[in-house]
Copies of this chain bind each other. A is one copy, B any other.
Amino acid sequence: MAKDKKPRRPRAETPRGFRDYFGAEVTERAAMLAKITEVYHAHGFDPLESSAVETVEALGKFLPDVDRPNEGVFAWQDEDESWLALRYDLTAPLARVYAQHRNDLPNPYRRYAVGPVWRNEKPGPGRFRQFYQCDADTVGSASPAADAEICGMLAAALENAGIAPGDYLIRLNNRKVLNGVMEAAGVLDPADPEAHAAARGIVLRAIDKLDRLGEAGVRALLGEGRKDDSGDYTKGAGLGADQAEIVMGFVAARRDTGAETCARLRELVGASVQGAEGVSELEQIAELLDRQGLGPDRIVIDPSVVRGLGYYTGAVYEAELTFEILDEKGRPRQFGSVAGGGRYDGLVKRFTGQAVPATGVSIGVDRLLAALRAKGRMSAEAAGPVVVTAMDRDRLGDYQAMAAELRAAGIRAEVFLGGGNMGKQLKYADKRAAPVAVIEGGDEKDRGVVQIKDLALGARLAADIETNEDWKAQPAQMEIPRAELVAQVRAMLARAAGPAEG
């Protein structure tokens, strides 16, 4: 058989914008998500794992970042000609799942979901095309109590994950109040709700940028428009000075207490029926949260929170971390938002024609994990296994027996299965972050002993060691009876975990 011409080797690379997660990156994320979903589960929320692949028509055009260019999904055509795509969030699939299975689901349906989502966007530093989301939503309840429940549950989840009270703040607002303000400002007419839609979209996104642009920047966007530092011009909403004043009054309506804020909002929405409804909902939510002991030190009414997403129809909420971290250049900065959500009543209607009230929150998994690491709430280095070295290649059975004994005692352990001398084996153990190495050469075997070594102490020297004899000369190494292996390794691990070296 003639040999084919040898093809060039494939490149061993993740695709652009994708990455792999190793060891503690996987287990720490899993531990954090377990803490969060434990709270969701305790609140009666059920897990849902929808398929990663959806039809393009089911996903619809609800991508959350309306400002971002090249927004999109990874899509392809199936063999039956239909277009399929990877989900870009966990909310659009929930709407599809609820519409598909609504006769079998409890009503209201509370569910949580955890999993990767995919965005066909230009990757950037720290921005990947696959990332995790963790959502909780209640579908089928229009009650402000459902919004209050989500806000309270979010606070409990953040605290259960390791964010201390005082280190986070959930800010709460209501789109109906904003709509009331739009009415008062003359850019929303209840008799013709489609009119001025474009201007309202600009107002919404302008307010959402308050943190970044400041008051003057927002005012410019409410009026004629704004040229940014790069020279790019963003068209404004075209509001007059009086109109803009009403909107800016809304943004600055936060007062010392929720009651005062609500009173101020009632003034601002004037005669708007929808606006009054929104204020009333905020009052109900605040009262329910107060009853749970979740006061303004944890959850506060803040009209400057609007969230840019077009589909929200009522309450909106956002959790930010209030402590500072150092950025990559060592400058302190506020950590910022780690979760957000709100009420949306239109997503299921797309499928069924019937409005189904829904409210829910999404946690930015990677951001929260980074925050917990920054606060030292994650065990910095996950414990590697005890490494049983393989001095004598013919006695692997003996070494496996030692590892099995350690495991039976609940101690993570493995036998070195590669090639190389003791120095190489200890370098391996070092790379594994092994706390302890076990060694049993022929001499030790004959005398019924083994050597155990505290690698946390000895790792720095390991690179220079080539023979068993050198190795024995190091500190933090003990010769112990073989029969005491488990007890002595356990004691050494306890010393290593203690505050001082034993």
Contacts and interface: CB of A to CB of B under 8 A. Distances in A.
A397 B53 contact: no
A182 to B, nearest CB: 16
Most buried by B among A43, A51, A145: A51
B21 A418 contact: no
A96 interface: yes
A14 interface: yes
B107 A418 contact: yes
A36 to B, nearest CB: 14
B57 A10 contact: yes
A197 interface: yes
Interface in A251-300: 287-288, 291-292
Given A51-B18, A194-B1, A149 B417 contact: yes
Interface stretch (A76-84, A165-173, A207-215, A476-484): A76-84
Interface stretch (A97-105, A310-318, A368-376): A97-105
Most buried by B among A41, A130, A397, A403: A397
A499 interface: no
A74 B51 CA distance: 14
A63 interface: no
Interface in A102-161: 106-108, 110, 116, 118, 120, 129-130, 138, 140-141, 143, 145-146, 148-149
Contacts of A418: 107-108, 140-141
B55 A404 contact: no
A42 B386 CA distance: 10
B74 A145 contact: no
A65 interface: no
Given A46-B23, A138-B417, A407-B43, A12 B400 contact: no
Interface stretch (A216-224, A350-358, A450-458): A350-358
A11 interface: yes
A16 interface: yes
A19 interface: yes
A413 B407 CA distance: 38
A188 B451 CA distance: 49
A327 interface: no
A431 B3 CA distance: 64
A29 to B, nearest CB: 9
Nearest to A287: B397
B55 A13 contact: yes
A359 to B, nearest CB: 10
Given A108-B418, A118-B53, A48 B22 contact: yes
B143 A417 contact: yes
Contacts of A336: none
A162 interface: no
Nearest to A39: B407
A55 B78 CA distance: 19
Interface string A1-44: 10100000111111110111111011100000000000001111
A226 interface: no
A194 B197 CA distance: 70
Given A15-B55, A22-B48, A74-B53, A396 B27 contact: no
B51 A26 contact: no
Nearest to A408: B42
Most buried by B among A130, A291, A396: A396
Copies of this chain: 2
Given A96-B12, A413-B42, A51 B1 contact: no
Contacts of A26: 47-49
A412 B37 CA distance: 12
A199 to B, nearest CB: 11
A231 interface: no
A75 interface: yes
B146 A10 contact: no
Contact of A401 (B44, B292, B401): B292
A23 B10 contact: no
A166 to B, nearest CB: 20
B288 A44 contact: no
A414 interface: yes
A337 interface: no
23 contacts: A1-B195, A9-B350, A10-B57, A11-B57, A13-B58, A14-B51, A15-B54, A15-B82, A19-B51, A20-B100, A21-B48, A22-B46, A25-B49, A42-B412, A43-B407, A52-B52, A74-B76, A79-B120, A106-B431, A140-B418, A141-B417, A141-B418, A145-B400
Given A10-B60, A15-B78, 6 more contacts: A1-B194, A10-B58, A27-B47, A43-B407, A107-B428, A288-B396
